[in-house]
Amino acid sequence: MKHFTVRQFKDACHARYFGPEEALDQELSGVETDSRGVTKGTLFVAIPGERVDGHKFIPDVYAKGAACALSQQELTDPAGPYLLVEDTQQALKEAAESYRQTLGIPVIGITGSVGKTSTKEMVASILSQKYNVLKTQGNFNNELGVPLTIFRIGEEHEVAVVEMGMNHYGEMHRLSKMVRPTHCLFTNIGVAHLEFLGSRDGILKAKCEMFDYAADDVKAFVNGDDDKLITLKDIARTFGMDPSRDVWADSVEKLGFDGVRCRIHTDTKNSFETVIPLPGTHMVYNAMAGTCIGLALGLSIDEIRAGIESLKPLPGRSNILHTEHYTLLDDCYNANPTSMMESLNVLDDTHSRKVAILGDMGELGPQSDSLHASVGKHLKNLHVDILVTIGTLSAALHEAAKKSAPQTRCLHFADVDSFLKETDQILKSGDAVLVKASHSMGFTKIVEALQ
């Protein structure tokens, strides 16, 4: 944070203040909702959660040097100053909106059905070749995580890259009100969150709420190969595999788990070859998206290439792990039909015996069975040796694969523990193993066990 006081926070969220007058003008060192992250000068926001009420930790944060606490409960004899509001989470958002408007740096907002995090990492890797970049950490892309990300922007930062996720109408509108993006980047419109948004047109409409509070001179960039996003071509620059896009790629060469090589064209006369160190053709789209942002912020081609080639994986997201017995594609942080099919394509590019361990995909609504089945049918033209499905919803995937892919041995388990009891009978040393499911399935347990 930079130059934001307790008083400014109070005024932004219309809070009642309890404490000494002189403490109002103390500059905050940060804002935290997790008491474990509190240090001297922090403002602690007490969030009442489903399992734990943050108010119980208020005494602890004063002992750690917190400058102030934000509470929606009146406190008796607190050990330090506090702000009282009706709703601490709403107050946090209002204060983040106010703090954002004190910042004069470019802020890139990234959204889409698939690939937000990997695209965010690519954009940040590229921009870091020239700028001091603040990026969203972990899964802090919702109405609680985004304001905390905004408060992490400090005086040293020259650009912020903010991932923006949603699954209901109105959420992106509220995120945009805080983020105020100067650049909007859309990865694709898939089928994630159909349960709440009804159709891909509904998803597009909800994602476009990002424009509601964007800068007046906002620059937008969209995946022009997406049939829904291409409808924004009159207000956005496009990227894709089609040479009619503003930035496009060709000469794509899959390198298995070692990544993908391609040539990216920045216009009709200029292009560069690069090797993206993470696997999958979707990474080419991420590289093109990052190229668009890099060009918009004045990076050279050499800087953009260096950013692409220095990209590092995140745990659970296309992360290649070389263990004593297996090569793992750890992609278990999240899943939807599009990303799961792409991960299967990556697995198919390897030269080892191939094992796919797939689990349930959430938030697919009434089409859940047919969408799980579509992944099973996708195996028809692949050469995956063993398919392991785990969970109730993935039974539809299992049945579709049995019918569509006779070349693949298909096994189904009710839960992770049941599968782990059988791993010695299923896997062989030297296997290439894909592990992918929605986060709620707890597939990190599988990755840890195989490591």
pLDDT at 138: 82
pLDDT greater than 90 at residue 194: no
Decide yes or no: CATH 3.90.190.20 for domain 319-450: yes
Task: Phi first, then psi: give them for residue 400, nearest 5 degrees.
Answer: -65, -40
- CATH 3.40.1390.10 positions along the chain are 6-86
- Written as six digits, the tokens of 211 are 């424009």
- Facing residues of 219 across strands? 183
Residue pair 287/308 in contact (Cβ under 8 Å)? The answer is yes
pLDDT at 167: 82
Region 6-86: CATH code: 3.40.1390.10
**pLDDT, the chain, mean:** 95
| Separation between Cα atoms, residue 220 and residue 186, nearest integer Å | 8
Task: Phi first, then psi: give them for residue 275, nearest 5 degrees.
Answer: -115, 115
Task: Phi first, then psi: give them for residue 110, nearest 5 degrees.
Answer: -120, 130
pLDDT at 317: 81
- Is 404 among the annotated ligand-binding positions? no
- Residue range 337-360: average pLDDT? 93
- Is 251 among the annotated ligand-binding positions? no
- Written as six digits, the tokens of 223 are 């995946």
- Residue range 218-240: average pLDDT? 97
- CATH 3.90.190.20 positions along the chain are 319-450
- CATH 3.40.1190.10 positions along the chain are 103-309
- Residue range 62-73: average pLDDT? 97
pLDDT at 269: 92
pLDDT greater than 70 at residue 131: yes
pLDDT at 363: 85
pLDDT greater than 70 at residue 408: yes
- Is 118 among the annotated ligand-binding positions? yes
pLDDT greater than 90 at residue 213: yes
- Is 307 among the annotated ligand-binding positions? no
pLDDT greater than 70 at residue 193: no
**C-beta contacts of 374-378 below 8 A and 24+ residues apart:** 374/337, 374/341, 374/400, 375/337, 375/340, 375/341, 375/344, 375/400, 375/401, 376/400, 376/401, 376/402, 376/403, 376/404, 376/405, 377/401, 377/404, 378/341, 378/344
**What does the H/E/C string look like for 301-328?**
HHHHHHHHHCCCCECCECEEEECCCCEE
pTM to 2 decimals? 0.86
- Residue range 106-121: average pLDDT? 94
pLDDT at 313: 86
- Residue range 32-41: average pLDDT? 96
- Is 112 among the annotated ligand-binding positions? yes
Task: Phi first, then psi: give them for residue 80, nearest 5 degrees.
Answer: -165, 180
| Separation between Cα atoms, residue 212 and residue 173, nearest integer Å | 6
Percent with pLDDT over 70 in the chain? 99
Fill in the DSSP letter of residue 75: P
- Is 117 among the annotated ligand-binding positions? yes
Give residue-wise pLDDT tens across range 162-185.
Answer: 999 998 999 999 999 999 999 999
**121-130, 281-290, 336-345: least confidently modelled range:** 336-345
- Residue range 44-66: average pLDDT? 95
Region 103-309: CATH code: 3.40.1190.10
